[in-house]
Amino acid sequence: MMFEKKQITSNPQHIAFIMDGNGRWAKRQGKPRTYGHYMGTYKIEDVVRWCSNIGVKYTTFYVFSTENWKRPPEEINFIFNLLVEKIEEFYERMNKENVRLRFIGRLEEVPENAMAKCFEYEEKTKNNEKIQAILALNYGGRSEIVDAVKKMLDQDNRHVDEQTFRNYLYAPDVPDPDLVIRTSGEMRISNFLLWEIAYSEFYFSNLLWPEFSEEELKRAVEIYQGRDRRFGGIK
Ligand code: IPE
Ligand code: IPE
Ligand code: MG
């Protein structure tokens, strides 16, 4: 890649995306909010491809949060129907590019046809190894921690430390995100990956998700590479 500043941190291995601004983008086009969600889904594919091209191994996308149930039922239905309708073609293209699809979140609470698709395509792509695309669906960082605690209690496991706790998270084998990118100019986490982002770097983009670009991704990565990650230590 091209560096204007000195590269002091190597390429990110895992980038997590808070895909925000679909509704505002649609409104600006004089269209209903749902049109933003429709266009936003295509952006996921592009971003996986762009990340794959620069050697990123894991991508996580915040698709639907545990708080998004507060939205009008029509919008919620639209989002889940979109998932059910689009996932097959998404899978066809991603599978050709050796992308492994995974899902994190309380899948047991999403509409049954959507949940079935998630399991189906997770299984079909489980041996793909170029890059992982992890979709966070009915995901909440606090729910993930609570679910982990419940699993530990169910197993009567009292020997808890940070390392063993991690094993109870939704995707324990996935390394923590190196970089979190949020679009739409909002500077908050909105309950995303709370445990995993302890030492992540952040990039807040003013672009709305449907207009996020390869150029903007490269800018974020370049800025990331110029950051000095100290993890609490000193040089
Ligand atoms: C992000 O876009 C997608 C979801 C949360 C499902 P929004 O729908 O939050 O769009 P804005 O933030 O209202 O513009
Ligand atoms: C975060 O966006 C959740 C997703 C991108 C799925 P929101 O639009 O729901 O977040 P808030 O309400 O602005 O914090
Ligand atoms: Mg939003």
**For 90-114, what is the mean pLDDT?**
98
Residue 207 to residue 24: CA distance in whole angstroms: 11
Angstrom distance (rounded) from CA 35 to CA 25: 9
- What is the per-residue pLDDT for 3? 57
* Average pLDDT taken over every residue of the chain: 96
> Which architecture characterizes domain 14-140+177-225 according to CATH?
3-Layer(aba) Sandwich (3.40)
53 included as an active-site residue: no
Residue pLDDT, tens place only, 105-155: 999 999 999 999 999 999 999 999 999 999 999 999 999 999 999 999 999
Q: Can you point out the beta strands (E) in 6-165? A: 14-18, 58-65, 99-104, 131-139
Q: How far is the CA of 21 from the centre of ligand 3 (A)?
A: 5
22 is catalytic: no
CA dihedral 121→126→132→137, nearest 10 degrees, is: 40
* Ligand 2 geometric centre to CA of 192 (Å): 9
CA of 63 to the centre of ligand 2 (A): 9
pLDDT at residue 1 greater than cutoff 90: no
The reply to whether ligand 2 has any atom less than 6 angstroms from the CB of 64 is yes
- Report yes or no: 209 and 19 within 8 Å, Cβ to Cβ: yes
Catalytic residue among 11, 68, 95, 128: 68
Residue 158 Cα, ligand 1 centroid: separation in angstroms?
Answer: 40
CA-to-CA distance for 141 and 65, rounded, in angstroms? Answer: 9
For residues 55 and 68, give the distance between their C-alpha atoms in angstroms, rounded to a whole number: 32
pLDDT at 54: 97
Distance of alpha carbon 150 from alpha carbon 144, whole angstroms? 10
For residue 235, pLDDT over 90 is answered with no
Residue ranges of the domains in the chain?
Answer: 14-140+177-225
Mutate to test the pocket of ligand 2, among 27, 47, 190 (most ligand atoms within 8 A of CB): 190
Q: How far apart are CA 75 and CA 39, in angstroms?
A: 14
Q: What residues flank ion ligand 3 with Cβ within 5 A?
A: 20
Q: What is the pLDDT of residue 6?
A: 79
The CB-based long-range contact list for 122-128 (8 Å cut-off, 24+ gap) reads: 124/91, 124/95, 125/91, 125/94, 125/95, 125/99, 125/100, 125/101, 126/100, 127/100, 128/95, 128/98, 128/99, 128/100, 128/101
Which atom of ligand 1 has the smallest separation from the CA of 64? Answer: 6
Separation CA 125–CA 102 (nearest Å): 8
Read off the pLDDT of residues 174-217 as tens digits, 9 standing for 90 and up: 999 999 999 999 999 999 999 999 999 999 999 999 999 999 99
